[in-house]
Amino acid sequence: MTNDTIKLFKDIAEKSVASFKNVGELNLRTFEALAAKQVEIVQNAADAGVKQSAIFTDSKDVNDLLSAQSDLANSYTETLTKSVTEISDILKGAQDELTGLAEVAFEDAKVNAEKVAAEVKANTEKVVADAK
């Protein structure tokens, strides 16, 4: 193998490793963002439970109790809906970034396949010429 061939395969390997690293970093960022949202959702649920207890403790009559519970349910639903939307945005962003990484990787693979084919052809022609 010539130095050019070795360099070509070294470049391909380095790009492959970089591509795997980029996907790993994307996965880590996505996991961290989703974990943070999960903690936030659990905290909001715990807060709603504390508020629910306070409603039962502080309410003077049934109408007051039902009104406070309705307000709490509406507030919790809004917060949860917002969190679900944010989770969807996180996943959509990760999907978009992964699609971009895949497009770059496929384009690199195509270019590298053409380079390898040209290198193999050149080496084959050289071997045939040397054999004559």
pLDDT, tens digit, 9 for 90 and up, residues 98-125: 999 999 999 988 998 898 888 888 888 8
Of 48, 82, 83, the C-alpha closest to 68 is: 48
Name the residue ranges covered by the structural domains of the chain: 23-118
User: pLDDT digits over 67-100, tens only?
Assistant: 999 999 999 999 999 999 999 999 999 999 999 9
User: pLDDT digits over 17-39, tens only?
Assistant: 999 999 999 999 999 999 999 99
**Residue 94 · residue 30 · CB < 8 Å:** yes
DSSP state of 93: H
DSSP state of 60: -
Q: Kindly provide the b/e burial profile for residues 71-108, where b requires at least 16 CB atoms within 10 angstroms of the residue's own CB.
A: ebeeebeebeeeeeebeeebeeebeebeeeeeeebeeb
Tell me what percent of the residues of the chain surpass a pLDDT of 70: 99
CA 18 to CA 129: how far, in whole Å? Answer: 38
Give pLDDT, residue 1. 54
Lowest mean pLDDT: which of 25-29, 39-43, 125-129?
Answer: 125-129
pTM of the model: 0.77
DSSP state of 42: H
Q: What angle do CA 36, 97, 23 make, to 5 degrees?
A: 80
Tell me what percent of the residues of the chain surpass a pLDDT of 90: 66
